[in-house]
Amino acid sequence: MPRAARTLYVCQNCGATAARWAGKCAACNEWNSLIEEESATGPPGSGLAAAKKGRVLELESLAATNAPSMRRFSSGSAELDRVTGGGIVPGSALLIGGEPGIGKSTLLLEVAARLAGRGRRALYFSGEEAAAQVRLRAERLGVAQAPLALACDSNLANILATLKAGPPPDLVIVDSIQTLWIDGLEAAPGTVAQVRAAAQALVRFAKASGSALVLVGHVTKDGQIAGPKLVEHMVDTVLYFEGDRGHPYRILRATKNRFGATDEIGVFEMAGEGLREVANASELFLPERQASAPGSAVFAGIEGTRPLLVEMQALVVPSGLGTPRRAVVGWDSNRLSMLLAVLDARAGVSFATQDVYLNVAGGLKISEPAADVAAAAALLSSIRQAALPADRVFLGEIALSGAVRAVRHTQLRLKEASKLGFKAAVLPAAAEPGAEREPLQRLGLAHVRDLFDVLPPPARLQRGRNPEEV
Ligand code: TYD
Ligand code: MG
C-alpha cells in the first residue's frame, strides 16, 4: 500500500516537487534549492478517489452576443496602458517583476494615487515598507494628497478581510507577493508554498469581485520572478521592469498578456520626482552619441509598434590573448559570434586576432535580428578605424549565406529616422518600397559585401593589424 506522503520537498527555484530531498533539483538543476514543505492537500492525484461526483456544467456558445464586453480603464499612465494593451482590465491579475530598486513601488504608487485622484477606489498594500515610508515617497512624487487607501500588512487573511469589507475596489496593489504569509502554512514567507497559496487566493478574489489586481514580484539573480513559475501561469499579464541602474531609463516589457500583444514596451525615465514617461524614446537613446568616433552606428529599430533609434557601439582591438575576447552588452552574444563568422567567411574580414566589444548605448536590450546590419557596420567601422557618416541609419538582417534580408516595418523606421534629422538609410535592397515620397535616401544592400560600398575608406592602418584583413 502506498504511503501517504505528507511532506514534500519543493524547489524554491522552479516549484518542482520531490518526495525525497536531493542536493540538486531534478527539474531545473539548481543546487540546494529543495526545501521541506508541508503539503496541505497531499500529492496531486491522491484526492481523486475521494472527489465528489461532478455536476453538469452549463455550456455557453463562443459566439454569445449578450456577454458583457470587457471594459478596460486607463491607468493614467500612457506608457503602462500601451504595455498592457490599452489599459487595465477589471477582474484581471497583473504581475510586475524587476530587480530591487528599479522602481516598481514608485510606478505603482504613482498609478494608484492618480487613479484614486480621479475617483476610483484604489487600495495599496505594502508588506515591505511602513506607512510613513510610503507617505514620504508619495510626497516626493507629488501625490501625497490623493485619496489612496493604504495598509501596511503582510498577513493574507487581514488583506482579504479588508478587501471584502468595503465595496469592491477598482485596483488592488500588493507589494510584494513574496512578503505575504498565510497563518496555517508551515513555511516562511517567500517560499513556493506561501507565494503560490497567496497568489491563488488574491487572484480568486480579483476574478470574483471584478477588481484589477497588481502583484509585485521579486526577481532572482538570474532575472526570473522568484518563486514558482506557477505564479506567472496564474496571472493574466506578466510585466518586467528592466533597466540599468547606471542609467535613468526604465523599460516596462510584457512577457505574457492575455489581453493584448506582448511586444510593446513602455519607456520611463527615473528622475528626482519619480518616473517620467518618455513618449519619444529615440530622443532618449541618441543624444550622447559621438558620431565622429569609429565604431558607432545608429540602428533604426522597432519595439512593438514603436520605432526606436539606438546607437550600437563596437570596439575592435588587437588581442594579446590566445583566445580573443568577445563581450556584448545589450545584444545576444551568440548573434555576435555568428556575425563575426559571416563577416569572415562571406566578406573576408577576419576578427580572429582581435578582441571584440559590442555595446548597445543607454542600457537598452535589443533582440531584433534587424540589428545585424547596424552591428556589422559598427564592427567594420571600428576595425577600419573610420567613422561612419553621421547622418545614416542602418537596418537589416544578415543570413549565414551573407545575404541581407528584408525586415518588417521599414517605412515606420525610416520616418522616425527622418524625423530625427537623418538623411540616408542603409537597408536591405529587398525592403518594401514606400508608397509616398521617400523620407530618406536609400542605400540598398543585397549581400553583406555590399556594406563596403557604403562605408568610408579605411583610415591609416595601425601597427599590429594585418593589412589584408581590412
Ligand atoms: P522603488 O520603487 O523603491 O524600487 P522597487 O520597488 O522596484 O524596489 O525605487 C527606488 C529607487 O528609485 C531608488 O533607488 C531611488 C529611486 N527614486 C528616484 O530616483 N526618484 C524618486 O522620486 C523615487 C521615489 C525613487
Ligand atoms: Mg519596492
Residue 243 Cβ < 6 Å to ligand 1: no
Q: Would you call 444 helix, strand, or coil by DSSP?
A: strand
Residue 270 Cβ < 6 Å to ligand 1: yes
Radius of gyration (Cα) for the chain, nearest Å? 27
Residue 47 Cβ < 6 Å to ligand 1: no
First-to-last alpha carbon distance for the chain, in angstroms, is 75
State the distance from the centre of ligand 2 to the C-alpha of 17, rounded, in angstroms.
29
Residue 103 Cβ < 6 Å to ligand 1: yes
Contact 459, 385 (CB under 8 A): yes
Contact 213, 219 (CB under 8 A): no
Cα–Cα nearest to 171, from 137, 203, 127, 206: 206
Contact 395, 375 (CB under 8 A): no
Which atom number of ligand 1 is nearest to the Cα of residue 274? 22
Which atom number of ligand 1 is nearest to the Cα of residue 141? 22
Ligand 1 pocket: which of 104, 252, 270, 276 to mutate (most atoms <8 Å of CB)? Answer: 270
Half-sphere exposure in the Cβ direction for 337 (13 Å, CA): 6
CA distance 226 to 52: 35
Residue 178 Cβ < 6 Å to ligand 1: no
Residue 100 Cβ < 6 Å to ligand 1: yes
Contact 393, 413 (CB under 8 A): yes
Dump the DSSP string for 310-333: EEEEEEEEE--SSS--EEEESS-H
| Strand-pair category, 265-271 with 274-277 | antiparallel
Q: What tens digit of pLDDT does each residue of 131-160 get?
A: 999 999 999 999 999 999 999 999 999 999
Ranges under pLDDT 50 in the chain: 1, 3, 5, 42, 46-48, 462-470
Cα–Cα nearest to 306, from 331, 277, 333: 277
Residue 276 Cβ < 6 Å to ligand 1: no
The whole-number pLDDT of residue 222 equals: 64
Residue 219: nearest ligand to its CA? 1
Contact 166, 184 (CB under 8 A): no
CA distance 200 to 373: 46
Write the residue with the smallest CA distance to atom 23 of ligand 1.
274
Q: Which helix (H) or strand (E) holds 375?
A: helix 372-383
Look up residue 22 and give its three cell numbers: 536531493
The whole-number pLDDT of residue 65 equals: 64
Which atom number of ligand 1 is nearest to the Cα of residue 216? 6
What is the pTM assigned to this prediction?
0.78
- What is the dihedral angle through the alpha carbons of 156, 157, 160, 166, rounded to the nearest 10 degrees? -130
The whole-number pLDDT of residue 425 equals: 94
The whole-number pLDDT of residue 285 equals: 76
